[in-house]
Amino acid sequence: MRLYYDKPLTQEELDSDIPGAILVEMMGDFPQEMNWKDEVIILPYPNKIPDKGLCVFQRYELSLEQE
């Protein structure tokens, strides 16, 4: 699971462990035999989020035609 953020996480965000909470929720919906790994990636806008894998939620980004 990859989580993309526009900026480095604050100490408060790190303390609340948002990636860990998301991972635990997802693990409950899938067989226990699955191996999970989370990865936090800082990718400031206007850098594009790679188009790989399955996207569950993505920030709004202007298309090239709109820029």
Q: Where are the domains of the chain?
A: 1-67
Residue 35 makes CB contacts below 8 A (sequence gap 6+) with: none
Distance CA 23, CA 62 (A): 29
pTM of the model: 0.65
Distance CA 4, CA 15 (A): 18
Distance CA 54, CA 67 (A): 25
pLDDT per residue rounded down to tens, the chain (67 residues): 888 888 998 899 888 888 788 888 888 888 777 788 788 899 998 888 888 887 777 767 666 555 5
